[in-house]
Structure 1
Amino acid sequence: MEASHSVKVITVSQDGKGDYRTVQEAIDAVPVGNTRRTVIRVAPGIYRQPVYVAKTKRFITLAGIFLEDTVLTWNNTATRIQHPKGEKVIGGGTFGCGSTIVEGEDFIAENITFENSSPQCEVVFGGRKGSGQAVAMRVTADRCAFYNCRFLGWQDTLYLHYGKQYFRDCYIEGSVDFIFGNSTALLEHCHIHCKSQGFITAQSRKSPHETTGFVFQRCVITGNGGREYAYLGRPWGPFARVVFAFTYMDPCIQLAGWNNWGNADNEKTACFFEYRCFGPGYCRSKRVKWAREEAEQFLLHSFIDPEANKPWLAQRMAFKVPYFA
């Protein structure tokens, strides 16, 4: 189903000058089975509340002015999920702990920061202190696009669970498996920041017949000043597929590049590619022998937008406009 051509605009402002005071109130006001692009203008502010876009709430756009000034944040973790009184509880564990959860298709966000504010997990006297898995954004929806957004957290920051997603000019930070899941995602011109020792990706493709995977194109990877403490990824699923192309890597990246997650059998099936990358964190001769280079087939928009007669990504880009005067 296509969205109708007319666009509805509603506003959110914590000072009461908008249509609603919270983002969730505005989302709840979108009709069930919505077929009209609904732009929710979010005024600057820190919105401390979990946000849930249900499957029945399609064609929603969240638009801020400056991403640093418009922050959606909450502090759930996989082992401690709390919601303000009256809020919906969307499952448990890592799946349910997202500060923002998107299940409605054809979602767009622009100039928004999505944060999980839980602290870093540390090992203390054989135990664990801190958040562990703490998702800032989970996307379980098809045809979603994010422009100039930030995703802040530590472990499991961005959960690309299912569907096709596009990210452009975004900033994503974390430590352990902080971009993970089994969606089909293209990330262009994004800044990936490794906050501590860990792994950037944990893609979970389970068979060679699945078309899923993560493609990073013309991105920048940075760290906190140390050398060789982060891996590009490890296979959460045996056929995990991740591509880095034309990407700058600073010295934080382990020269081995990739990790087999303690299972040598994963080396036979995982599909980890690097294509024309550069920087001090890239050294082809020192990469694991099972990493690959032939990645041209993943570098076009058709990887996430294969239907040439009904290109969803072009439609999403058509709605990427400044919604504030």
Structure 2
Amino acid sequence: MGSMVITVAQDGSADFATVQEAIDAVPLGNKCRTIIRLTPGVYKQPVYVPKTKNFITLTGLRPEETVLTWNNTATRIDHHQASRVIGTGTFGCGSTIVEGEDFIAENITFENSAPEGSGQAVAIRATADRCAFYNCRFLGWQDTLYLHYGKQYLRDCYIEGSVDFIFGNSTALLEHCHIHCKSAGFITAQSRKSSQETTGYVFLRCVITGNGGSQYTHLGRPWGPFGRVVFAYTYMDACIKNVGWNNWGKTENERCACFYEYKCFGPGSCPSKRVTWARELIDEEAEQFVAHGFIDPDPQRSWLAQRMAARIPYSA
């Protein structure tokens, strides 16, 4: 498993001028890690990583300086790929869409620049197993980060939005991330469909901040009736409503949604005032969620081990 490096710069000084051209150059069914290095800049174009273009790494020097941005919404999609390839509506509107497995992004900003009130406007959709994001930023309003399918690991990332801005039915661990609630809404909309599914979102040692207002946002609501979300060791700003969670207007969701907190703190953390159908985990229950095994369950075939706890060096 060697790796190859390709470079992108908009001024023509690198291998390719656009991110998409670099991805297009990766062969389908590739077996070797391909590192696409982006020169600082704002890349205004939708990006699509197709199925079987696996082992792609997108890397920048600093996320503030390396921005992938586009402005599609669920009701207006302008894309170089046909809708039969990327899908329609919320599913197809991601500024970046990743369907290739073992994808890594480091030091990149993924943005949907559609203004507030545009409805669903996804910054990135991850429909791929074993994706990892290190020191990335995800910017948008509604439906910013679509963790749709597969297993994802996010570390040292910044995610902002308003309504359902981390959503989908993947199995995701977000560690040391900063979640910023820009206006009233719901941080998560996890869509687990049955108690058999092992999917869910775990927020481990994260920080939730608001816009200075208090009690205007919920930790989550169940997009699927068995939606599963855990906040552990997480700081919660006063923007979080005392009730914490929302049933999406359906009392029957309260019987099956799995909304948990564990040893959180801050003004927005008040277990005594939470809805009665969400609860605080006890130590034994929390164990399965507060370790990397939640997304990386097979130690014999670990996909995180070789890059856990240390950033991939820029020279990788």
State if a TM-score over 0.5 links the two structures.
Answer: yes
**Contact map agreement 2:271 2:280 (CA 8 A) in 1:** no
For residues 33 and 173 of structure 1, what CA distance do their matches in structure 2 show?
34
**Contact map agreement 1:41 1:324 (CA 8 A) in 2:** no
- Which of 138, 149, 157 is the aligned partner of 1:170? 157
For the residue of structure 2 that corresponds to 1:309, the secondary structure is: helix
| Alignment root-mean-square deviation, CA | 1.3
For the residue of structure 1 that corresponds to 2:77, the secondary structure is: coil
**Structure 1 unaligned blocks of 5 or more:** 122-130
TM-score by length of 1: 0.93
One-letter amino acid of the structure 2 residue matched with residue 216 of structure 1: F
For residues 319 and 139 of structure 1, what CA distance do their matches in structure 2 show?
23
For the residue of structure 1 that corresponds to 2:223, the secondary structure is: coil
For the residue of structure 2 that corresponds to 1:67, the secondary structure is: coil
Call closer, same or farther: CA 1:244–1:319 in 2, change over 3 Å. closer
**Contact map agreement 1:153 1:174 (CA 8 A) in 2:** yes
State the aligned residue count. 310
**Contact map agreement 1:182 1:205 (CA 8 A) in 2:** yes
The 5 Å alignment of 1:109-188 reads 109-121=105-117, 131-188=118-175
Where does residue 299 of structure 1 map in the other structure?
Answer: 290
**Structure 2 unaligned blocks of 5 or more:** none
- For residue 267 of structure 1, report the CA deviation from its aligned partner: 0.8
Where does residue 128 of structure 1 map in the other structure?
Answer: none
- For residue 300 of structure 1, report the CA deviation from its aligned partner: 1.0
For the residue of structure 2 that corresponds to 1:224, the secondary structure is: coil
For residues 36 and 48 of structure 1, what CA distance do their matches in structure 2 show?
28
- For residue 322 of structure 1, report the CA deviation from its aligned partner: 2.5
- For residue 319 of structure 1, report the CA deviation from its aligned partner: 9.1
TM-score by length of 2: 0.96
**Contact map agreement 1:65 1:324 (CA 8 A) in 2:** no
For the residue of structure 2 that corresponds to 1:95, the secondary structure is: helix
- For residue 313 of structure 1, report the CA deviation from its aligned partner: 1.1
- Which of 22, 39, 53 is the aligned partner of 1:26? 22
For residues 65 and 308 of structure 1, what CA distance do their matches in structure 2 show?
31
One-letter amino acid of the structure 2 residue matched with residue 136 of structure 1: A
One-letter amino acid of the structure 2 residue matched with residue 301 of structure 1: H
Call closer, same or farther: CA 1:10–1:199 in 2, change over 3 Å. same
- For residue 296 of structure 1, report the CA deviation from its aligned partner: 2.8
- For residue 320 of structure 1, report the CA deviation from its aligned partner: 4.2
Range moving further from structure 2, 292-301 or 12-21: 292-301
One-letter amino acid of the structure 2 residue matched with residue 135 of structure 1: V
**Contact map agreement 2:23 2:49 (CA 8 A) in 1:** yes
- Which of 194, 203, 217 is the aligned partner of 2:204? 217
One-letter amino acid of the structure 1 residue matched with residue 101 of structure 2: E
- For residue 149 of structure 1, report the CA deviation from its aligned partner: 0.1
The answer to whether residue 60 in structure 2 is matched with residue 64 in structure 1 is yes
Q: Deviations over 1:298-317 (max 9, x none)?
A: 11111101111111111354
Where does residue 201 of structure 1 map in the other structure?
Answer: 188
For residues 25 and 43 of structure 1, what CA distance do their matches in structure 2 show?
14
For the residue of structure 2 that corresponds to 1:236, the secondary structure is: coil
Range moving further from structure 2, 281-290 or 97-106: 281-290
Q: Deviations over 1:245-287 (max 9, x none)?
A: 0000000000100000111111111000000000000111101
For residues 211 and 287 of structure 2, what CA distance do their matches in structure 1 show?
31
For residues 264 and 52 of structure 1, what CA distance do their matches in structure 2 show?
39
For residues 103 and 310 of structure 2, what CA distance do their matches in structure 1 show?
11
For residues 318 and 291 of structure 1, what CA distance do their matches in structure 2 show?
31
